[in-house]
């Protein structure tokens, strides 16, 4: 797993240096906004929508530890994390716990979604960092040993090293699945 992440980083670095990727953050088109006209109302982000999708939503339920369904029907896949599987006939160690952990954080609550370079994965799910009450869920899952780092470029380029440190600290402390599962599902 570590070799895959490192190889991905090495392959993505030339693209960044070559200017092929835009600077991170939500993909919002500001070309149509009136300059200096604040009477127009809210910006796209303030209005709850970006070019990728909603920037706020209410979570209906957690499909598993890293995938959510909003009450509006959108499916959201958390960026940079991978929790043990509990769907499609798979039942990996710590999967139920990670699912319940995520559900306890977000179910029925308003969340904020922050997008990166790519908005959707191959399954049509929104790719986002999710926060509830100012606490980023993606980060919390790694800190608590509920998830492994999963880096799929170009998303996460600006946070991958920090998140790798969070995962390593949880691993070293035997937090969550790191202290309970042998082997750990994501290795």
Structure confidence at residue 21 (pLDDT): 32
Full-model pTM: 0.76
Q: Which residues contact 67 (CB under 8 A, 6 or more apart)?
A: 75, 76, 77, 78, 125
d(CA 102, CA 66): 8
Provide the annotated active-site residues.
77, 85, 125
Domain residue ranges of the chain, discontinuous segments joined by +: 2-14+50-180
Q: How far apart are CA 162 and CA 166, in angstroms?
A: 6
DSSP state of 83: P
Number of residues assigned to the chain: 187
Q: Which class does domain 2-14+50-180 fall in?
A: mainly beta
pLDDT of residue 49: 86
Q: What is the dihedral of CA 148, 153, 155, 156, to 10 degrees?
A: 50
Residue 94 zone, left/alpha/beta (φ > 0; ψ -120 to 50; rest): left
**Whole-number pLDDT of residue 47:** 62
Q: What is the pLDDT of residue 8?
A: 45
3-state secondary structure 99-159: HHHHHHHHECCEEEEECCCCCECCCCCEEEEEEECCEEHHHHHHHCCCCEECCCCCCCCCC
Q: State the Cα–Cα distance between residues 118 and 12, nearest whole angstrom.
A: 14
Per-residue pLDDT, 186? 84
**Residue 79, SS3 per DSSP:** coil
pLDDT of the chain, 187 residues: tens digit per residue? 443 443 444 344 334 333 333 333 333 333 333 333 333 333 444 567 889 999 999 999 999 999 999 999 999 999 999 999 998 888 899 999 999 999 999 999 999 999 999 999 999 999 999 999 999 999 999 999 999 999 999 999 999 999 999 999 999 999 999 999 999 888 7
């Amino acid at each position: 797993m570590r070799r895959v992440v490192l190889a991905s980083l090495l392959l993505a670095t030339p693209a960044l240096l070559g200017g092929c990727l835009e600077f991170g953050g939500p993909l919002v088109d500001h070309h149509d906004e009136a300059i200096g006209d604040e009477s127009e109302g809210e910006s796209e982000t303030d209005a709850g929508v970006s070019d990728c999708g909603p920037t706020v939503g209410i979570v209906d339920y957690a499909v598993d530890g890293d995938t959510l369904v909003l009450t509006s029907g959108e499916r959201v896949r958390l960026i940079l994390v991978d929790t043990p599987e509990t769907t499609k006939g798979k039942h990996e160690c710590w999967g139920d716990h990670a699912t319940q952990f995520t559900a306890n954080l977000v179910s029925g609550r308003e969340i904020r979604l922050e997008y990166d370079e790519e908005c959707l994965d191959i399954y049509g799910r929104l790719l986002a960092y999710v926060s509830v009450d100012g606490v980023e869920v993606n980060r919390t899952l790694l800190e608590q040993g509920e998830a492994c780092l999963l880096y799929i470029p170009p998303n996460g380029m600006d946070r991958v090293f920090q998140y790798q440190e969070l995962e390593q600290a949880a691993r070293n402390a035997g937090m969550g699945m790191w202290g309970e599962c042998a082997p750990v599902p994501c290795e």
